[in-house]
A and B are shown apart, each in its own frame.
Chain A
């Protein structure tokens, strides 16, 4: 079994890659940055809004201002289309994501635990990781028709690929001393696996899930642009046909917000579940 400690700091490093934040300095420095973020965030929002107003007013052809977009948002909330579209997109993402993770975690564990399985699966994994999930859509539509199946399949693929790699990495980077510590206390393979390998790799799995959810969300919107009867991407596609810029803006903002909320929620879950980690 491969239990070489490769890079204990990997989850933290990858997290930094996800959030775009570098490692947080300990102690005082951290609380200082925390205090100063909120005013900056508000200021940044106001500045963005200002630039938007200016852009709308210097008259780029058809460029809607914040008010116009807000009005459109209110209408689409009022007639229920926004909620319906958001729910349609979310349903696809969550179905594909849950299926992808549900398969990725056991496969990742098997790959980490049995070198033979790793050897068999890894080449395919590496290959498909290089194929953007969206590139699978034409194939999926031809093979599976234009209903929900191809979209969910593509999302499933996106979340599976990112979660399986991180689960596998989590397993191989479990500290071999912890495994030995369990064994000398009488643990047999099964207990070592459930009692040590699984909890020790959760930080990796959760980081992979977060990356996977981000990838899934990006994929669903794009998939809906290509073929759908409802959903945020579909609504934008329709709006494009009618040069309806306010609607496109509303959809874009909602897509961003939902993505942000999902990411924060998973981040929070991750922090909660892995607060036992020593953060250096």
Chain B
């Protein structure tokens, strides 16, 4: 998506993410109903979706997690378009933050509880092997970090104005 995927440079990555994020935010909000009337939660949810979407857009289809996110977004949009709001997707577009209390639970596959947890956290790694899982996790963490920074800056900016 980005003209030059210079994701190795954190600054450029940040900028790309920022652009994407703002763009998505804008689109998201403009599409939706009147901001003033929407509930704060809906708005925050939209922002959150925009954040994840921007992350995924910057990465494109290179990563499994970004592909999963894009897929979810498109599904969402399709469903919304079809007037069939699937709340499951809408409200949990990406990672389900389920707190699994059983850590030592072992899957039938022999996966420990931790691996399962990780799979639930990172989108799109359900069926990957452990090696790829770690790879995707690393990439996901990197983009998440940058996204969080971008958002922090934005919040600061907005709050100072």
Q: Do they bind each other?
A: no
Chain A residues with a Cβ under 8 A of chain B: none
